[in-house]
Chains A and B, each alone.
Chain A
Amino acid sequence: MRPIAYIPPMMFAVIAVALFLGLLILKPKEIPSALIGQPAPTFDLPSVDSTLHGLSNTDLIGLVSIVNVFASWCVPCRVEHPLWVEVGEAGDVPVFGLNYKDYQENASKWLADFGDPYTAIGADLDGRVGVDLGVIGVPETFVVDAQGLIQLKHIGPIDRYALENKILPKVRELQALMIADGTDG
């Protein structure tokens, strides 16, 4: 018997335990629908470019807004991005970007290449805010009401159908509510 022969199974045991804990603790597919109606977590992030304003949770209060989680390494983000550029140009609702686990220079270049529709961007370098938001994959999109409460969550890339039949109607509904509240109060 040679002890060295036991190194491969032991190394595998470490990996297997890590994978098991990964499934158990990180729960890849758990979608916290409980976030709906809850305030966005507290955060204050720098932007992808130090000359620009970053993003904090207080920016989400006051107007109905969209928060889009994106990254330059994410292929589906590229697919949905032209739609955000469109929404940004229309200017009906602020779109905030959460740049998830990215390199700042890559993100800047990506935005320069494909257009920057975002009113402000928070660079979530270590993904901590993404975790608090329950991000399970990129891209994800949240609709946040004027009180800063999350009202809708869309997982995965948006398409035109989702934008026009799900996200924008929710935005308009919340904007109408906000105006109604405003006249009441």
Chain B
Amino acid sequence: MVAELGNFALILALIMAVVQGTIPLIGAHTRSAAWIAVARPAANAQFAFVALAFAALTYSFVVSDFSVLTVANNSHTLKPLLYKITGVWGNHEGSLLLWILILTLFGASVAWFGTNLPPGLRARVLAVQALIGVGFLSFILLTSNPFERILEAPFEGNGLNPLLQDPGLAFHPPLLYLGYVGFSMAFSFAVAALIEGRVDPAWARWVRPWTLAAWTFLTAGIVLGSWWAYYELGWGGFWFWDPVENASFMPWLAGTALLHSAVVVERRDTLKSWTILLAILTFSLSLLGTFIVRSGILTSVHAFATDPERGYFILGFLVLVIGGSLILYAVRAPALKSGGVFAPISREGALVLNNLLLATATATVLLGTLYPLLLDLFTGKKVSVGAPFFEATFFPIMAPLLAAAVIGPMLSWKRGDLMGALQRLRVAFFVSAGIALAVWAFVSGGTWLSTLGIALGAWLVAGSFASLAERIKLLRAPLADSLRRAIHLPRAAWGMTLAHTGLGIFLLGGTVMLTWQTEATQVMRPGDVVSVAGYDLTFQGVGNIPGPNYMAERALFSVSRDGEVVTNLLPEKRAYVSSGMPTTEAGIKATWAGDLYAVIGDADGKGGWATRFFFKPFVHWMWIGASVMVLGGVVSLTDRRHRVGAPERRREPAAGPAPRMAGE
């Protein structure tokens, strides 16, 4: 009954989406206020119906209603409640419903918060958003209905893939989707602007916070996924350039570019046509990612139920959405009037460079992802494009980008002074070069690549700090004055500083970890001792520990350093009741210097066990750096400008003399 209610709610949501996608569009064209007014209630209703459907599916999972096919295929009565709930999106149908829920949530939030948008623009944005909804709702209803019943309900379900029964992965998809789908807002605003033929700074002021929010969620989602891979999969890796990983990375790169170019539109009223194109491309790459994941067209480590029929459907939808919007762009974009002019050496110029490099990086990843498919089609040759390709092509593009990320914010708008900026960055330059050279000179095992990585990482951190210090006149004005300036600095400027610093910390951590990690793989018997990076690990034995829906073999290693007991590591190997599939849980001891990482393998049947230890120096710097980037996004979102969203930028109250610095 509940499942049928959910099914019915989905059908009503589709009808609402069709209404919302057509009537306001016609209304905005014929300037009919009554037709325009349909958009907001329709967006609310569409969201309410999808939320009802999602609640119905969640209910079916919680009560283990195995007469619903999706539940029977993906749940199990013994599963802890948390994983019954997260299991809702641990499968194709449910995750698609989550995707739609988020899409309609974004649509509804335009209806809620968009009261200061011109009604015509709002109606068009909501209509475009609804048309995307029409595509996804028909997709789910026609090819992937989560409420499909089975005639003879089994007594027990198949269980969720054990790898997904993990808190890290439970929240990875929702965050990722908030990111992917969040870019639909930028897309809808871009298409609405093309229909209107008008892009003004108010448009960019609206698009920026949505893009920023989506970017923040996507960053958090990708990092959570990597972190999960790191501690759960048990071989210490965190990124594999897998097609599905690339599918999330491409929108991230394009979204990062969009975030930067939207600043130029907002502040300088130029670069409009390019920003519109980026908004379209960013969401297109999100859709392409969905296609890659769900059509099974590329071999990937991420096993999702695949089905060519679904592939054709999504492809047709892609052609309509991406092809349609790009043609609309080709027809309308040349009419967009460009605003202020600027010299090549200027803040705008630096942001254009940022966009060029990020766009090239995105194209490289796209090429690497699709190349095996293209080659297979045209020559019948099978290749896999792996890490070597991406390392050889991606990093050379990123290096100048990272170097420029520090200089750009030091340049002023319209016409900048490169020599002056470099002059002001000389301390940061000598600090980062000094650190890199010191590491190169005193730590063995480094390469020129690791030296470059450390130099760039330190440059980002030191340079961001230098730029902040300059803005608040640190050491050049009384401390109290600097503090006041720091408080009055726009949140967006803080956000940028944090995000760039976080990127630097991430790069430092990644470089050090990849260059200096040590590992040891061996068979151990109880009592054996193995030394890794100065730690002595004594194997005490293995015990059986029952979990809620699995049996675990848990090993105990006592860890000591220079004869002093440090900790115990308890890596596990779990066998899940429903599938018998084994998973590993690494035992990790985090220290300031890095992670000591232990994994237990199989018994050799002669009293010994396969064991594997890593010492990963600085690995937490990566997670801290990524978290700081996310924090930067959040802080920037709280910027007053975004909250006010007023057509005219207000001046800061005259409380402080802080003049608006060239940058934010």
Contacts and interface: CB of A to CB of B under 8 A. Distances in A.
Interface centre among A15, A21, A78 (most CB of B within 10 A): A15
B381 A79 contact: no
Given A16-B319, A23-B311, A159 B612 contact: no
B386 interface: yes
A126 B315 contact: no
Given A28-B297, A156-B303, A157-B581, A101 B384 contact: yes
Interface in A146-178: 156-157, 159-162
A16 B334 contact: no
B255 interface: no
A82 B163 CA distance: 16
A136 B327 CA distance: 35
A67 B480 CA distance: 73
Interface residues of A, number: 52
A29 B286 CA distance: 23
Given A8-B330, A75-B233, A28 B295 contact: yes
B323 A22 contact: no
Contacts of B575: 160
B514 interface: no
A137 B579 contact: no
Instruction: Output the residue of B291, B581, B601 with the most chain A CB within 10 A.
Output: B581
Contact of B301 (A13, A76, A159, A160): A76
B177 to A, nearest CB: 22
Contacts of A29: 296, 306-308
Interface stretch (A39-47, A50-58, A127-135): A127-135
B329 interface: yes
A58 to B, nearest CB: 23
A161 B163 CA distance: 17
B235 interface: yes
Given A8-B329, A159-B581, A127 B382 contact: yes
A16 B601 contact: no
Contact of B602 (A6, A82, A131): A82
Nearest to B604: A89
Contact of B299 (A19, A23, A137): A137
Given A5-B334, A6-B330, A8-B326, A19 B297 contact: yes
A159 to B, nearest CB: 4
B373 A5 contact: no
A1 interface: yes
Contacts of A12: 284, 322-323, 326
Contacts of A138: 299
Report the contact-size class of chain B (Cβ under 8 Å from the partner). Answer: 35 or more
B610 interface: yes
Main secondary structure of the interface of A (DSSP, over half): helix
Given A89-B605, A160-B580, A28 B333 contact: no
Contact of A113 (B233, B301, B612): B612
A100 to B, nearest CB: 9
A85 interface: yes
Interface string A9-49: 10011011011111101111110000000000000000000
Contacts of A6: 330
Contacts of A15: 370
A18 B288 CA distance: 13
B318 interface: yes
B583 A79 contact: yes
Contacts of A75: 233, 301
A115 B610 contact: yes
Contacts of A8: 277, 280-281, 326, 329-330
Interface string B378-395: 000111101010000000
Nearest to A3: B330
Contact of B308 (A23, A102, A156, A157): A23
Interface in B362-402: 370, 373-374, 376-377, 381-384, 386, 388
Interface string A107-145: 000000111000000000011101100001110000000
B306 A16 contact: no
B112 interface: no
A5 B326 CA distance: 9
Contact of A18 (B303, B330, B377): B377
Interface string B302-346: 010011100110010011001100110111011000000000000
B377 A26 contact: yes
A23 B277 contact: no
A164 to B, nearest CB: 9
A118 B389 CA distance: 29
A24 to B, nearest CB: 9
A9 B194 CA distance: 15
Contact of B334 (A1, A28, A89): A1
Contacts of A85: 602
B612 A79 contact: no
A73 B521 contact: no
B647 interface: no
Given A9-B323, A12-B284, A73-B240, A126 B381 contact: yes
| 10 tightest Cβ-Cβ pairs between the two chains A and B | A127-B382, A9-B326, A28-B296, A161-B580, A159-B580, A5-B330, A101-B384, A75-B301, A82-B602, A160-B580
Interface of A: 1-2, 5-6, 8-9, 12-13, 15-16, 18-23, 25-30, 73-76, 78-79, 82, 85-86, 89, 101-103, 113-115, 126-128, 130-131, 136-138, 156-157, 159-162
Given A5-B334, A75-B301, A113-B521, 12 more contacts: A9-B329, A21-B377, A23-B312, A27-B308, A28-B296, A30-B308, A78-B235, A82-B601, A85-B602, A86-B602, A126-B382, A157-B581
11 contacts: A2-B334, A16-B315, A19-B297, A19-B318, A75-B301, A78-B234, A86-B602, A101-B382, A126-B383, A156-B303, A159-B580
